[in-house]
Structure 1
């Protein structure tokens, strides 16, 4: 690991030296452009202001990204963009370290991410556990430091006709800094919070040293009566972020901008006390003394190193050679589910086959450690080519994730022969994109302006699964009857050799766009794209958008487009299976590739691309100087959405498999084009720069998003007509697992040398669902659903310019220490909610108040 970190440390040292040595002024051209909110996302021909765009675009300046205690780009965008959602789930394996974000309530992989207008590669991680975005891979925006970003342009409209796959919900384009000067910051913060509704434990009620049982019954799930005190206070999650960015001129027409960031985050723990009986023997006196806070539920531990570079040089003849790239490493660790002392997953069969002997005397908490290495590089040349503006580029990106399991055991090997730490395998994802873009504006009589753009793209993608160490997946001697011990490393069994995968595909695309200002109050955009994939064939997509301003300062706009998302290689080929003994036979179960004989026998077919129809209409109001108000309606119908099926099992499944000659499998899940959905909603965004009146500069902004998704059709497997392919819990997660509405309001005040930022977000209701797969629940049967009620989350930051170029800031995110609705426990809700008191579906997390300070330098 040190061999990978050492070049980063050297780079950070170099940047730190340059920070102290350099002193340059900001690029006035870039600052002017940022002030005018000129956007390039959404058209390859015309650069327009936000108000003049025929489609809705949000522009967030780099300064807004740094006025927060959060130093993760996803979290900052969540607080600034009404339709952007970033929950922070826990106990979801690798997703603990690479959490996905969504736009307009759609899947994380249904939004396209660009850096400097070029497609960014996705993470190798496939989210398979109970989180928003289950079954998808996403771009890890947290690999991109906020200090490296000059501005973010968020296109809230379908754009597959311009950019290709994934742009169904919209496009996020991060434009890197290229200005001269030095910026650096040191941010430190931690959570200072009282857990709402969660009590500390002062002891266990007992009579004569015998613990009092609330739910007698003679099982190891007995609930003991705990003596409690006040609300549990937590001071944790210490986070240190060191970031620096500096830009240098290169000759007369070049630039070099470098960024380095180091972030060290300690874990948080928002678990409650576990009242369940921990030891095998009822009345064991150790029940009175064991620490009841055995679980770790919250943010995992993470250390991030990130480097970014952005460079360009203008040659004679109007050509510019440019390059940008990044390198990042993340070492993270998240807790699994605690195994109690009396848990069969803690039994040492090698010590005794007749009596229960625990491997860990007081139980154990296994951890999933992930090592992520992220690399990207782009090089290109642009300039005048026969009267056209040409841009030829090559972009490569890869994401590599390796799993390690620590403080664990392979029970089937016995304590004497099992390691405690395992390498469980890894995932690899790579992408190479070659683009040629040409555009030109023409003078036509009768038109204010007219431009065309056309180009082509070649993309190659690769996906790999790497097997883990033998001990991480093997079924040891105690996996057979009569012991039936689980094989593989506890909490995360390793990938097996038959899971190993190495697949690739390529695609070719061509597009064309025409953009015209017919008059000074009417503009129209037309675009079309053809794309051919080596694995599923062709797709055609088109778009028309227009803007009409009948009265100066009041405009209406609208768009109609089709879009698509190619099923990822991970969705087609991900495999993670385990072997269990059933009736003396080895049986395979788990997630199978679509092409696997097990999946085929059950009716799986090659995945088709998701196809969308996007409708949008809105109004723009800019009559009042300094005020811009936009309101946009959207309607997105998606056909053939790719989802992960339920785990299919039962007599009908066994019969089908047996009929196909497969006798070593009894259950399976795989990806299918499972549902059609319709998502519709409204975005309202307003910004007002208050005219100065002697009390400093005030900027007010507000946003509102209302979003609703419905499943309008479901697929079935003709060979298994009685089985549910996509069940109730996952369906409700898709339709109600994200806020139905969201409001954000912010105030920025600057009166040199003092500044203040106040933001507040209201998150609407979210449904936390039970685990039932049935689409309907019989009358009288309990359902473990509950609603997370709407909450307001407020952030405050105060800044002081202490010295020229030196700014001090203090603040608090979630200053009022608000928590999501506490989970009900017991009965149909089960016992886990006693010690997992908050839902992972909370759109603002469940960590409480974060207090921080920052010192920033600008030269």
Structure 2
């Protein structure tokens, strides 16, 4: 019997056992008014979800589409320092590997949902679109060629819950909502102020984490409030690099988590005024981070021995500024119609600095610290929404205007220039700077009209239809629709299904990113150019580049929810997502890497002294199929004890189904241009095939015990163009939280208690990791490679 089938049987057996174990009288009662007060106080009501419909919050289990609710208590019990890592151990299908030696990606790692790309997930805060990072992941990482949202910019203590919509929703929310939506709800009215301090470290003694958070709430009249969260997070570096045999057996490389310090702030406020409510929420994060590039040994041609006689490890140390703010007003008209007008501003500034380095081409005159330039992204959104309930039906709609601006800022001259020294290397070692030729300032605007009709055909049958028309100033228009159905066959059993079309607008970074440089083999040779060219660059145009088109998707979900009591819920959903015209960077276009390159293309390269070029293009189509299973069980036990269990399983598989035509001028096919073995594995196999999450909390008197068991499925990587399979692994996290006094708690916890590590590279894979086995683990490992870690957290409510 396969693992998925075994897990389905386990869910069924657990559900049957839990149903039999529950209080039969409570299970059969649908009339809460008849229950005694003691039972009413212990009833757990259904979680509300605002995402997935413009008709207002409703019970998540009654939604036409699958929605998971992750509570604040669950997030905090993971022992993880930030939201991205917490979701990775709670949400099946959410993947957040920890890349290393990948330039800027080390400091703002990407995440994915259902095995798709980081930019195919839409992130909202209080229902408003959150901006993406300006960083383009341009190395061989999961999410290569995309820009995603940096979830680590949101302090955990500011969050009330996270809603994860596992369905395509571009017809409701616009671009990016292909794999799903993550809606982060900040804490609102009725909270208590709290201060927490946390200290943690890995079992190997590194990765020391110091974290302090202050959450303060100020209640206002009429259910108004002002909530402020301030956090300082200092997470030390880890290093799992092996000894370098070519350098005397020293551990000279950094392969592990970056050393980061974050100062975070969050604001959430509401001020009722009659039939209207003014609201404001904002996020702010300033991050300093440091991680290594590849080590340069003493005899390396890129080193200058007079400066670094023992070799050197360049340090990439960016400064990242990220903030957003939303201000709006909402209210209710006399006829019952609800309206909401808001403005959102988001900004990300990713500034590259390189230290402990040099520009070899400048000889002894080289500096050792460099400003390598920056990328910046700004997003401004104006929304006007309305909804009205007409009998059992709801009509909603609105208008959105969005303006985006993307910039590349050049670095200082020494960071990118090619000096006169007799050496091929140029620029700051580790990360050469953006040159004046790379500097760009690009903008676009988008207008959107959307509508949503929730039609209650009967008390048991609900239909939801949505449509959205958008016009972008750079590529044109898009029209998408969605139809969802919910049928309650019995009081305990609900069937649901949805079909939709969607799209993802090409990001400004994909259209306009430019990172090129020059090198020279000797003083007598002409300078050669190489790098990533924007699609509108003359060289890219001559090599067949065209303006990027939006990615288009079709999505189908079919599922059911079984809820025999308020204590037990089981759900199952299957889904299929087809995406056409997915955007990827080309391979290295040169006569060396593409042996069949046409003479015309070779002449373009030669005439411009270009060694090789890369640009973005609409390249492939994919199909992703999968299944989501979930079981929630809670029980009130003797002497006030409570037990809550959440079991979830997700399996998805992405396959390339289409290849677009390569530009005729290149004389090669799209397989040669795009799908080398590395890229194929990156798309089809670099993420876990499946995941199991088993989360439990037992509460009794003065303590809570939380256990979090995870199975991360197998994944693949490439070594010397051969596919390498890494096996599935189980990890166990645990936390014991003691209530020392009425308002004082002390938590002791461990992450990955059994010190499980991902498989290491095979002993013969010297072509990738070198004779010294310096890099022992794949950067695609879904739970990292740090091993066990432990923490202590003290919390005080006031």
Would you say 1:165 and 2:175 are equivalent positions? Answer: yes
Would you say 1:633 and 2:569 are equivalent positions? Answer: no
Q: Distance in 2 between matches of 1:686 and 1:637?
A: 28
Contact 1:740 1:764 survives alignment (8 Å):
yes
1:303 to 261, 272, 276: 261
How much does 1:664 deviate?
Answer: 2.4
SS in 1 for 2:489: strand
1:313–1:413 CA distance, 2 compared to 1 (3 A):
same
1:760 to 709, 714, 737: 709
Q: TM-score, normalised by structure 2?
A: 0.91
Contact 1:657 1:665 survives alignment (8 Å):
no
Q: Distance in 2 between matches of 1:661 and 1:787?
A: 40
Contact 2:45 2:566 survives alignment (8 Å):
no
Structure 2: unaligned runs, 5 residues or longer: 1-40
Q: TM-score, normalised by structure 1?
A: 0.85
Q: 2:777 aligns to what?
A: 838
1:406 to 343, 355, 361: 355
1:544 to 477, 483, 495: 483
1:135 to 126, 145, 148: 145
Q: 2:369 aligns to what?
A: 421
Q: 2:195 aligns to what?
A: 184
2:213 to 243, 256, 266: 243
Q: Distance in 2 between matches of 1:34 and 1:304?
A: 36
Would you say 1:507 and 2:446 are equivalent positions? Answer: yes
SS in 2 for 1:731: helix
2:401 to 444, 458, 462: 458
How much does 1:32 deviate?
Answer: 12
SS in 1 for 2:658: strand
Per-residue deviation, residues 686-706 of structure 1 (Å, max 9, x unmatched): 110023233610001100001
1:572 to 500, 511, 514: 511
Alignment of 1:342-357 (within 5 A): 342-346=299-303, 348=304, 357=305
Q: Distance in 2 between matches of 1:183 and 1:158?
A: 37
Would you say 1:112 and 2:122 are equivalent positions? Answer: yes
How much does 1:322 deviate?
Answer: 0.6
Would you say 1:720 and 2:666 are equivalent positions? Answer: yes
Q: Distance in 2 between matches of 1:830 and 1:72?
A: 32
Q: 2:555 aligns to what?
A: 614
1:669–1:105 CA distance, 2 compared to 1 (3 A):
same
1:376 to 324, 328, 337: 324
Aligned residues: 745
Q: 2:614 aligns to what?
A: 669
Contact 1:463 1:504 survives alignment (8 Å):
yes
Q: 1:442 aligns to what?
A: 390
SS in 2 for 1:802: strand
Q: Distance in 2 between matches of 1:136 and 1:795?
A: 31
Contact 1:729 1:771 survives alignment (8 Å):
no
Structure 1: unaligned runs, 5 residues or longer: 1-30, 193-233, 279-286, 349-356, 444-448, 773-782
Q: Distance in 2 between matches of 1:365 and 1:827?
A: 23
How much does 1:375 deviate?
Answer: 1.4
Alignment of 1:781-800 (within 5 A): 783=722, 785-800=723-738
Contact 2:42 2:636 survives alignment (8 Å):
no
Alignment of 1:180-579 (within 5 A): 180-192=191-203, 234-276=204-246, 278=247, 287=248, 292-316=250-274, 318-346=275-303, 348=304, 357=305, 359-385=307-333, 387=335, 388-414=337-363, 416-443=364-391, 449-478=392-421, 483-579=422-518
Q: Distance in 2 between matches of 1:610 and 1:765?
A: 28
How much does 1:522 deviate?
Answer: 1.1
Across the aligned residues of Structure 1 and Structure 2, the Cα RMSD in angstroms comes to 1.7
Q: Distance in 2 between matches of 1:770 and 1:653?
A: 29
Q: 1:97 aligns to what?
A: 107
SS in 2 for 1:181: coil
Q: 2:530 aligns to what?
A: 589
SS in 2 for 1:71: coil
Q: Distance in 1 between matches of 2:227 and 2:242?
A: 47
Per-residue deviation, residues 651-686 of structure 1 (Å, max 9, x unmatched): 736742635994222310011111100001001111
Alignment of 1:620-699 (within 5 A): 620-650=561-591, 652=597, 655-656=600-601, 658=603, 662-694=607-639, 696-699=641-644
Contact 2:539 2:604 survives alignment (8 Å):
no
SS in 2 for 1:464: strand
